[in-house]
Amino acid sequence: MLTETDRGMCMQAAEKRRLEQEMLKAERIRHIIECSFGLFADKGIETISMNEIANQAEIGVASLYRYFSTKEDLAIEAAIYAWKIEEDLFNKAFSFEGYDDLNGYDQLSSMLDIFTDALATQSSFFRFVNYFDAFIKREKVSLGRLTKYEEAITGLKDIVVCAIKKGRKDGSISFGGKKDSELAKASDDEIYFTVMHSLFSLAQKLSLSGEMLNMNMEVRPEKQMNLAIRFFLEALK
């Protein structure tokens, strides 16, 4: 007959095994998502089969389907994973010492400049987002399925909008002093979406075909991105 001490030790051992199994499962899922992201970013989502993903992740196809019943499920999780990685990159733009002391314009400038670095180091992210947008449109993925994906994007919006609000309040964002201009009358959200969608679209274009034609080599992708950022910042200043 087991004593209270023995029962306690058995329960602890069982709990330890359960936690280890959960950690192992989480690691496997993350590995599958990472492999999927790499394949999707390189070749697109439509062209990749579940068999290819299983081979890349070095697991059986049956095991893959136990974790993700459809490629749609896997694509959405890969998109969430990609945005979280990108969010970490953007976090560097506002997590450094002295950021809070900057005026709103300089805070916004610090964040937008990340696009130039991201284009050089994270081109796979922009390619993936382009393929993912096309995939969810083609497959008619419901908005309800994209809730977690949208939540992953929202954090960046809040930070950028705060910088715009601060700039308007401290006067560093004054739209060239033209208070009655259409730009000055635009809401913070309107400015955010216009700027960010434009820069993301440019980044996607450059990451996909920036060096496809000889004429594209006349101005380096990073230079084009930097100029686009300067256009927006000068208009807001």
Find the CATH number of the domain harbouring 127: 1.10.357
Torsion region of 175: left, alpha or beta (phi above 0 gives left; psi -120 to 50 gives alpha): left
Are 4 and 47 in the same domain? Answer: yes
Does pLDDT of 210 surpass 60?
Answer: no
- Residues in CB range of 45: below 8 A, 6 or more apart: 71, 75, 131, 132, 134, 135
Residues 6+ apart with CB under 8 A from 207: 119, 123, 124, 126, 127, 130, 221
Residues 55 and 132 in one domain: no
pLDDT of residue 78: 94
Q: In sequence order, what DSSP letters do the residues of 19-84 get, joined into one string?
A: HHHHHHHHHHHHHHHHHHHHHHHHH-STT--HHHHHHHHTS-HHHHHHH-SSHHHHHHHHHHHHHH
Residues 57, 3 within the same domain: yes
Structural domains in the chain (count): 2
Residues 33 and 50 in one domain: yes
Q: Which residues of 87-98 are buried (b: 16+ CB within 10 A; e: fewer)?
A: eeebeebbeeee
Task: Give the range among 64-73, 169-178, 217-226 with minimum mean pLDDT.
Answer: 217-226
CA distance from start to end of the chain: 79
- Band (pLDDT 50/70/90 cuts) for residue 98 is confident
Q: 35 near 68, Cβ under 8 Å? A: no
Query: Of the residues 30, 52, 69, which one is the last residue of a structural domain?
Result: 69
Radius of gyration of the chain (CA): 23
User: Angle at which helices 114-121 and 104-112 pack, to 10 degrees?
Assistant: 10
* Band (146; pLDDT cuts 50, 70, 90): confident
Q: How confident is the model at residue 212 (pLDDT cuts 50, 70, 90)?
A: low
> Which of 69, 88, 110 finishes a domain?
69
Which amino acid, 12? Answer: Q
55 lies in the same domain as 116: no
- Whether 123 and 174 map to the same domain: the answer is yes
- Of 48, 69, 90, the domain-final residue: 69
Per cent of the chain over pLDDT 70 is: 88
Provide the residue range defining the domain that includes 83: 77-236
Residues 6 or more apart in contact with residue 171 via CB below 8 angstroms: none
Same domain, yes or no, for 62 and 101? no
**Global confidence as pTM:** 0.78
Give the residue-averaged pLDDT of 205-222: 71
CATH of the domain at 12: 1.10.10.60
